[in-house]
Amino acid sequence: MDLGIQGKTALVCASSKGLGLGCARALAEAGVNLVMNARGVGALEAAAQSIRDEFGVTVQTIATDITTEEGQSAVLEAANGPDILVTNAGGPPPGMWTDWEREDFIKALDANMLTPIALIKACLPTMMDRGWGRIVNITSQSVKSPIPVLGLSNSARAGLTGYVAGTARQVAPSGVTINNLQPGIHATDRAVSLDTGVAEQQGITREEAALQRQATIPARRYGTAEEFGQTCAFLCSQHAGFIVGQNILLDGGAVNTTQ
C-alpha cells in the first residue's frame, strides 16, 4: 500500500533501538526523511546508516537525552518543522509503591509525559499552518491495564493520555492527528530487562520468565518492532486522517477489554 507520505519529514525520538527504531524504519520504507535520536552515538549512527543504505532517504542523527530541554531544542532545530512527530523515551524502572519518592515521579513525568507534551506543543503550530500533520506517541498497554510494578510509568503515561485526548480534538480541524500507540510486551531490550527482573525475583532463567509471560498472551508470543513500526507508519499515512485521539493497543490480545 502506498502510504502517500513520500518526501515528508519525521522526527522520531529515542529511535536507535526497539520500538522507536521500528517506527523509523517503517517511515523510511514509506519514503519519509528522518531525524533520529538517542543518547548513545554508536547504535544511533549504525541504525541511521543502515536506514540510509536500505531505503535511500535522508537521515540526520542527534545524539542527546530527549528528556532535557537542551535535547528537545537540538532535535527540534534539526527537524525544522517536521510533518510527522513520533515521541518516545525509555520507560521508568519497576518497583513497589514504597520505593517511589517525589524525585522518582518528577523523572518519570519529565520523560514520559512532559517531554512528549513539550515536543507536541513545539511542532503543532507549523503542522497546523500547513494543514497537515501526524503525531504518534509511544505509550504503553499499562494505560488501559495498569501493571502494578510499573507505577511510575502508569502515572506518567496516564497524564500524557489525558493531555492528548483533549489536544487531539482541538487541533483536528487543522488536519493534524494525534494518537497513542500502546505496546504490550515486545521483543526489545526493554523486554529483556523486564524478564531479567522476573527471573531474579523468582529464581528462574530469563528464558523461563519469557515463556511464562508469553503463556499469558493470547497470541502466545511477544510483538516485534517491525509490526509495531508498520502500525505507526499507517497512523502517519494519508489514509489515517480520520483516526483522531485514539489509544491503540498492540498487545497480542493481552488486555481483555471491549474498548
Class of residue 1 by CB neighbours under 10 A (exposed 0-12, middle 13-18, buried 19+): exposed
* Choice from 3, 8, 18, 235 touching ligand NAP (CB under 6 A): 18
Virtual torsion, Cα 247, 253, 254, 257, nearest 10 deg: 60
Interface of this chain with ligand NAP, residues 200 to 259, rule: CB under 6 A:
none
Which grid cell is 229?
513500526
| In the complex, least distance from residue 67 CB atom to ligand NAP, rounded to whole angstroms | 5
Q: Which is nearer to ligand NAP, 14 or 59 (CB)?
A: 14
* Residue 59 within binding range of ligand NAP, rule CB under 6 A: no
**Could you give the C-alpha distances from 202 to 75, 146, 218, 226, in angstroms and in order?**
41, 21, 23, 31
Q: How far is CA 170 from the centre of its chain?
A: 22
How many residues would you count in the chain?
A: 259
189 binds ligand NAP (CB under 6 A): yes
How many chain residues touch ligand NAP (CB under 6 A)?
Answer: 28
In the numeric block, which cell numbers belong to residue 19?
A: 520500538
Q: How far is the CB of 174 from ligand NAP (least distance, A)?
A: 28
Window contacting ligand NAP (CB under 6 A); options: 170-178, 179-187, 213-221, 242-250: 179-187
**Binding to ligand NAP, residues 75-94 (CB under 6 A):** 88-91
Q: Is the CB of 62 or the CB of 240 nearer to ligand NAP?
A: 62
Asked if residues 155 and 168 have their Cβ atoms less than 8 Å apart, the reply is no
What DSSP state is assigned to residue 36? Answer: E
Residue 116 touches ligand NAP, criterion: CB under 6 A: no
Binds ligand NAP (CB under 6 A): choice among 40, 125, 166, 218: 40
Show the cell assigned to 79: 527537524
Site string for ligand NAP, 125-164 (x = CB under 6 A): -------------x-x------------------------
Q: Which residues contact 234 (CB under 8 A, 6 or more apart)?
A: 3, 240
Smallest distance from the beta carbon of 232 to ligand NAP, in angstroms?
12
Enumerate the β-bridge partners of residue 183.
250
Interacting residue with ligand NAP among 155, 179, 188, 237 (CB under 6 A): 188
Nearest Cα to Cα of residue 27 among 41, 45, 48, 44: 48
| Near ligand NAP by CB under 6 A: residue from 27, 127, 191, 209 | 191
Cβ closest to ligand NAP, residue 33 vs residue 140: 140
User: Does 17 interact with ligand NAP (rule: CB under 6 A)?
Assistant: yes
Helices 189-202 and 206-214, axial angle in degrees (round to 10): 110
d(CA 11, CA 112): 17
Q: Summarize as ranges the residues that interact with ligand NAP (CB under 6 A).
A: 14-20, 37-40, 43, 65-67, 88-91, 138, 140, 183, 185-186, 188-191
